[in-house]
Amino acid sequence: MSGGAVAAVPGLRLAGAQTLELARRSVLTEWRQFGSLLPGIVFPLLLAAVYTHQFQRVILMPGFPAVDSFLDFVLPASLVQAVSFGATEAGTELARDIENGFFDRLRSSPCARLPLLLGRLAGSLVVAAAKGALIVAVFLAFGAEVAGGPAAIAVVLGSAVLLVLAIGGLGQVLAIRTGNQEAVNATFPLIFTSVFVSSAFFPTALMNGWFRVVAEANPVTWIVDPVRRLVIEGWSGTDALQALGVPLAISVVTVSVAVTTLNRWLGAR
């Protein structure tokens, strides 16, 4: 191993430790504000209960996916809804730290640049995974079935977590550019609305007009559709790849833009 590679190992270990510490701080911050997590759990579950009761006969429509219960159909939508609450928290935390001066104190410390972003993102992913696991557990307890088995459940949760990573990266871009919590939080209505303007609650094959065009072009649809097939049809490697690949590709873009934006911002200060 070359001298440069040997020198890089301690640096990577230090950056990893810093990322874990900032992730722990992020998770603790969310836990201390547990009340803010409840809407992201309660609202999707209540909506799923109401929709399952009111729209049970919809599954008999010609062209509707073959399911025994609307509960199975709506599981991916409820999961996406649940993680969308707080998906911008990584950006909100970053903007808060910029506003109160904590970010400047981190910069003056030996902390590397990447952990400043990745630590907060990692914390958001841990919270999203916990919320997603709880949502799936409640659905299973009330009779929902995942035809794809444990592997499909893992992919379902993985896609939800990656979606949070994608949104979190975008939130951090806004945080760096504005340094304002309100500006980051203002993106939530757009994110939340995008769930409804997709195939989350109704298949695009039964839509028409402009709504169908928008829904088919919505990245949420590209994630929800393969996830739903894993739930109601069974395991498919192609669907698993799409369910994970789409949010991963978006995450690579948004997190890369966040890193670039941070480097330019710090270089200009």
pLDDT one-digit tens code per residue, 181-209: 888 888 888 888 899 999 999 999 999 99
Q: Amino acid identity, residue 128? A: A
pTM of the model: 0.88
How many Cβ atoms from other residues are within 10 Å of residue 70's Cβ?
Answer: 21
**What is the number of structural domains in the chain?**
1
| Of 195, 197, 244, 250, residue with least CA distance to 78 | 195
Pick the residue with more confidence: 268 or 239?
239
pLDDT mean over 81-99: 86
Q: At 194, is the secondary structure helix, strand, or coil?
A: helix
Q: What is the DSSP letter of 68?
A: S
What integer pLDDT is reported at residue 265 of this predicted model? 87
What integer pLDDT is reported at residue 211 of this predicted model? 93
CA distances from 73 to 15, 29, 52, 204, 262 (A): 42, 34, 9, 13, 40
Task: Give the model's confidence band at 7: pLDDT under 50 very low, under 70 low, under 90 confident, else very high.
Answer: very low
Cβ atoms of 96 and 58 within 8 Å: the answer is no
What integer pLDDT is reported at residue 9 of this predicted model? 52
Pick the residue with more confidence: 161 or 102?
161
Task: Give the model's confidence band at 268: pLDDT under 50 very low, under 70 low, under 90 confident, else very high.
Answer: low
| Of 12, 10, 22, residue with least CA distance to 116 | 22
Above 90 in pLDDT, residue 8? no
Q: How far apart are CA 235 and CA 245, in angstroms?
A: 16
pLDDT mean over 162-177: 93
What integer pLDDT is reported at residue 220 of this predicted model? 94
pLDDT mean over 135-144: 94
What integer pLDDT is reported at residue 158 of this predicted model? 95
In b/e form, how buried is each residue of 10-29, taking b as 16+ CB within 10 angstroms?
A: eeeeebeebbeebbeebbee
Query: Where in the sequence is the domain holding 52, given as residue range(s)?
Result: 3-268
Own/partner pairs, 113-116, CB within 8 angstroms, 24+ separation: 113/259, 113/262, 113/263, 113/266, 114/15, 114/19, 114/259, 115/15, 115/18, 115/19, 115/22, 116/22, 116/262
Own/partner pairs, 51-54, CB within 8 angstroms, 24+ separation: 51/201
Span 210-260, pLDDT tens digits: 999 999 999 999 999 999 999 999 999 999 999 999 999 999 999 999 999
Above 70 in pLDDT, residue 2? no
Tokens read off for 80: 């996406």
What integer pLDDT is reported at residue 10 of this predicted model? 60
| Of 56, 54, 47, residue with least CA distance to 78 | 47
Residue indicated by tokens 């990322």: 19
